[in-house]
Amino acid sequence: MSQLFTPYSIGPLKLENRIVIAPMCQYSAEDGHATDWHRIHLGQLALSGAGLLIIEATAVEPIGRISPADLGLWSDSTESALGAVLQSVRKYSSMPIAIQLAHAGRKAGSATPWLPGSGGDWQNAAPSALPFNDTDAPPAALDRAGLQRVLQAFVTAAQRAHRIGIDAIELHAAHGYLLHQFLSPLSNQRTDEYGGSLENRMRFPLQVFDAVRESVPASMPVGIRISATDWVEGGWDLEQSVGLAQALAKRDCAFIHVSSGGLSPQQAITPAPDYQVPLAARIRAESGLPTIAVGLVTEAEQAEAIVARGDADMVGVARVMLYDPHWPWHAAAKLGAQVSAPPQYWRSQPHGVHKLFKAQ
């Protein structure tokens, strides 16, 4: 029996299999509002047969957007727009849907990748007044009022997500964005209780986690995505990530989604298939948290081996899903498993492949 296609539960949330569609920025929102693109994009992914779909990084306040075209969840109107998209998707898919709540901090206001010059014109905020690139304007260091504003923005966005029927929340503390900026000594040079020691640098991300966890029902899992290492000497690293994971394990954290990098232009990474999996395996072994592994996972056999070896409980796939939106179907066919699909598609089952599809 395929291990990748065995059921799994994140707290009370039951997943049909171990395939997770990781968040992928679409740069297609209008003033933070979900559009018809999101209806088409998420609807397509929700028919893929994966166990869980995580909506792209969704900003908790306008100045927290990676780009001006990022999705947001900070107002009644952004809540209504995303809720309408979700309602459409739910008509035809029972796949559990999570959302990644995010704040880009000093990396906010970037241009849409295919639209040079489309960046934001706001003042960025960060733990310290240190820009990401030397050519960037320095961000404003968050004071106590700013910290409270950001924390409350995460809480309010989480409550909005629960109201529109999102099944789980993932806090974005990876890829050089705000919560990751607090964790790394490369971007956090504060001299108050939020900087310096590992305990201090973890303080604000953990406060955000605690506040979000408390603000939504226990039936709604709350997890986190981290960069396990900055890939820079003297930066955030795997040892510190293990410490963070152990602290989260004491806080009813439902899962940890293990990525890496994104904090510094000085990072030295050599991507290769499974290159981040050992990071996830170490964190899983030493924290006991349910773990999602990612990183150039493109083949069914590769994903199967990650779960079968016990390196992770779930496998995140992202870009391969854009290239092949039915990747879970094809993985199930290779591994002799079954996958949920809408009845409108059942006749597409290839000749010689038996009992591939089951009802959603």
Residue (of 34, 31, 79) closest to 56 by Cα position: 34
What count of residues does the chain have?
A: 360
Tens of pLDDT, residue by residue over 127-179, are: 999 999 999 999 999 999 999 999 999 999 999 999 999 999 999 999 999 99
Whether residue 242 contacts residue 287, with contact meaning beta carbons closer than 8 Å, is answered with yes
Res. 203 pLDDT band, cuts 50 70 90: very high
CA distance 328 to 348: 14
**Mean per-residue pLDDT, 244-269:** 97
**Mean per-residue pLDDT, 214-237:** 98
Q: Give the pLDDT score at 40.
A: 98
Res. 180 pLDDT band, cuts 50 70 90: very high
Mean pLDDT (the chain, rounded): 97
Q: Which helix (H) or strand (E) holds 171?
A: strand 168-173
Tens of pLDDT, residue by residue over 52-89, are: 999 999 999 999 999 999 999 999 999 999 999 999 99
Q: Which helix (H) or strand (E) holds 206?
A: helix 198-215
Q: Give the pLDDT score at 289.
A: 98
Q: Which domains does the chain have, with CATH numbers?
A: 8-358 (3.20.20.70)
* Residue 337 CB neighbour total at 10 angstroms: 21
Give percent of the chain above pLDDT 70: 100
Res. 354 pLDDT band, cuts 50 70 90: confident
Res. 123 pLDDT band, cuts 50 70 90: very high
Q: Give the pLDDT score at 335.
A: 97
* Residue 80 CB neighbour total at 10 angstroms: 13
Place of tokens 């849409």: 112
Q: Give the pLDDT score at 224.
A: 99
Catalytic position from the list 8, 27, 177, 194: 177
Q: Which amino acid, 258?
A: V
Q: Is 27 in the active site?
A: no
Tens of pLDDT, residue by residue over 304-347, are: 999 999 999 999 999 999 999 999 999 999 999 999 999 999 99
Q: What is the pTM of this model?
A: 0.97
Q: Give the pLDDT score at 274.
A: 96
* Residue 135 CB neighbour total at 10 angstroms: 6
Res. 352 pLDDT band, cuts 50 70 90: confident
